[in-house]
Chains A and B, each alone.
With several copies, the nearest count.
Chain A
């Protein structure tokens, strides 16, 4: 069901873990739907993402997209990181099954949430970044049968 790349990132996740005193931390998703992603960013004074780590509760695709997302934003500037969309993540993984596309959206949102946290902590405004939804406890609509 998953591509080789997904399986690779799932079984050997890159950048899994926490960053102590991270510049920004973002958590998205909710336990009801079975996916929670948390991203830690270490951003230097030039706005370059020096390190990025994640923790994820979720399916294989959720882990793999988190892992890939960290790889994609690492070394990038904040502005460049904003260009990393769910599509970028999916393509980098050679695709996802249709029912798992939402995982890649979650990965995008998790980066945005961490960037938002960083911006708030540093009292700056990041062009093109809006406040992430606080959906960790949000009720989601059950998928229709």
Chain B
């Protein structure tokens, strides 16, 4: 295929043309600083608050509970560090899961170095958090539970409402990293008992470098970034007006098209899974088959290694990933795949495909053909496959 087939929408998405359109005036015509006093700048303040309103509504939150940040990672850092700081007098224990994004895990490591204790709850073989283990982990000193809404690698959707309930019963703040879920799944912070929620625009066809943190009214979070009085004195720094406007527009479109995209993506996803499972032996699908993001597929192909597979797909104009984008330069197999119990060599042979509403059946069919071809080629090259065949022959 001549055209690029982009199947890595969990890494980042194309900014929608309507979003870029909405942003453009705020670079050159309406470039003022929203904090300035003159009329020329007040239109920017208004634009920022409109975007805030859109996002608040999408989450069932109040407009004053949305705070803009420089991205999902900053939101995660803020939620964890500032809660830890603000509630240090209450306790020093945080509960999270083994399959969180590095933005959570490495922040937890940082906190562990600074006197906090962290429990990393297990997931089952389908990648769903073990609720009984989570409940048992609660201590009198627990100040925060942070469990992601949906996983970025295997797409599993966590029982957020149940966790919200547990947190509420124990009077513990509940944060969820909804970077992958926001825009794909309906979210209601009140119904689900969420106190803090991270989101990032570039995962839902908005621009990069802008995100937000929902902070429930009353949560006494400190600032992570100190300085000017922006974002109601909680997040300093001149507002990224075009980014914020673009985030708002992207959320607006995501909400409007959610149902339609979901149906289309599930249909493509199932077609992909069905064909691959039928045509490529020694393959498994990672993560719960039902409780998963509409756009996520994660395969493990035995006997082969993921990077080779990715490069060969790339040579055929197919963009995919073998884990989270951030770690694809690393040698470690994915911590998420290990957490669901895959042995190392199988974890190494994983492929993540994440769809957008622009993908077509034709693209999926072409991709399956190529996967088949390449997996076959790599297995011919693999000493593990050789050993396996020899072993079977000897049996």
A and B touching (Cβ–Cβ under 8 A): yes
Chain A interface (Cβ within 8 Å of chain B)? 1-2, 7, 10-11, 13, 16, 18, 27, 31-38, 55-60, 62-63, 99, 142-143, 145
Cα distance A37–B305 in the bound complex, in angstroms: 12
- The 4 closest A-B CB pairs, nearest first, are A31-B345, A59-B307, A38-B383, A32-B344
Which partner residue on chain A sits nearest B382 by CB separation?
A57
Q: Is the CB of B305 within 8 A of A143?
A: no
Given A1-B37, A145-B106, A145-B233, A59:B305 Cβ within 8 A: yes
Beta-carbon contact of B344 and A57 below 8 Å: no
Contacts of B331 in A (CB 8 A): 33-34, 99, 143
**B330 with A1: CB separation less than 8 A:** no
Contacts A16-B380, A56-B382, A99-B329 aside, 20 further interface pairs with beta carbons under 8 A come to A1-B42, A16-B381, A31-B384, A32-B345, A34-B344, A36-B383, A38-B386, A57-B304, A57-B305, A57-B345, A57-B381, A57-B382, A58-B305, A58-B307, A58-B308, A60-B307, A99-B331, A142-B332, A143-B332, A145-B106
* Separation of A60 and B382 alpha carbons in the complex (Å): 13
A27 to B315 CA separation, bound complex (whole angstroms): 29
Q: How far is the CB of B342 from chain A (nearest CB, A)?
A: 12
Interface centre among B37, B42, B304, B383, by most A CB within 10 Å?
A: B383
CA distance A35 to B307 in the complex (A): 11
Main secondary structure, interface of B, reads helix
Chain B residues whose CB sits within 8 angstroms of the CB of A145 once the complex forms: 106, 109, 233
Taking CB as reference atom, which chain B residue is nearest A13? B381
Q: Does B333 contact A (CB under 8 A)?
A: yes
From known contacts A10-B308, A60-B308, A60-B311, infer whether A34 and B333 are also in contact, taking CB-CB under 8 Å: yes
Contact at B386–A18, with CB atoms within 8 Å? yes
B312: nearest chain-A partner, CB-CB = A11
Minimum Cβ distance to chain B for residue A129 (Å): 22
**A36 and B307 contact, Cβ closer than 8 Å, known pairs A31-B344, A31-B345:** no
1/0 per residue, CB under 8 A from A, across B34-47: the answer is: 00010000100000
Q: How far is the CA of A18 from the CA of B387 in the complex (A)?
A: 12
A57 touches B333 (CB 8 A): no
Q: Is B348 an interface residue (CB 8 A)?
A: yes
Chain B interfacial residues counted at CB < 8 A: 29
Cα–Cα, bound, A27→B382 (Å): 12
B-side contacts of A35, CB under 8 Å: 305
CB-CB < 8 A to B312: which residues of A?
A: 11
Is the beta-carbon distance between A143 and B382 smaller than 8 angstroms? no
- State which of A7, A55, A142 has its C-beta within 8 Å of the C-beta of B381: A55
Once the chains bind, are B348 and A34 in contact (CB under 8 Å)?
A: yes
Count: A-B pairs, CB below 8 Å: 76
B182 at the interface (CB under 8 A from A): no
In the bound complex, do residue B383 and residue A27 qualify as a contact, i.e. CB atoms below 8 Å apart?
yes
Complex Cα distance A13/B382, Å?
Answer: 13
Tell whether, in the assembled complex, residue B315 and residue A11 are in contact, meaning their CB atoms are under 8 Å apart.
Answer: yes
Question: Binary interface profile of B, 351-386, with partner A (CB < 8 Å = 1, else 0)?
Answer: 000000000000000000000000000001111111
The answer, yes or no, to whether B247 is at the interface (CB within 8 Å) is no
Contact string, B305-326, partner A, CB cutoff 8 A, digits 1/0? Answer: 1011001100100000000000
Give complex CA distance A143, B303 in Å: 23
* Chain B residue at minimal CB-CB distance from A58: B305
- Which of A36, A99, A142 has the most chain B CB within a 10 Å cutoff? A36
A143 to B304, CA, bound (A): 22
Give the distance to chain B from A140, nearest Cβ to Cβ, in Å: 9
Name the residue of chain A whose CB is nearest to the CB of B310: A60
Contacts of B332 in A (CB 8 A): 142-143
Report A-chain residues with C-beta under 8 Å of the C-beta of B303: 57
Closest chain B residue to A140, Cβ basis: B331
Closest residue on chain B to residue A97 by CB atoms: B329
Taken residue by residue from 7 to 33, chain B's Cβ proximity to chain A (1 for < 8 Å, 0 otherwise) reads as: 000000000000000000000000000
* Best-buried of A56, A57, A63 by chain B (most CB within 10 Å): A57
CB distance from B91 to the nearest CB of A (A): 27
- Chain B residues whose CB sits within 8 angstroms of the CB of A62 once the complex forms: 305, 308
List of B residues within 8 angstroms of A57 by Cβ? 303-305, 345, 381-385
A-B contacts, 25 of them at CB < 8 A, read A1-B37, A1-B42, A10-B311, A11-B312, A18-B386, A31-B345, A31-B384, A33-B344, A37-B383, A56-B383, A57-B381, A57-B382, A57-B385, A58-B305, A58-B307, A59-B305, A59-B308, A60-B307, A60-B311, A62-B305, A63-B308, A143-B330, A143-B331, A145-B106, A145-B233
Bound Cα distance A120, B276 (Å): 44
A99 to B109 CA separation, bound complex (whole angstroms)? 24
Residue of B nearest to A11 (CB): B315
Rounded to whole angstroms, the CA-CA distance of A60 and B307 in the bound complex is 7
| Chain A residues within an 8 Å CB radius of B382 | 36, 55-57
Report the minimal beta-carbon distance from B63 to chain A, rounded to whole angstroms.
16
For the complex, what is the distance from the CA of A55 to the CA of B377, rounded to whole Å?
12
By a CB distance below 8 angstroms, the chain B residues around A142 are 332
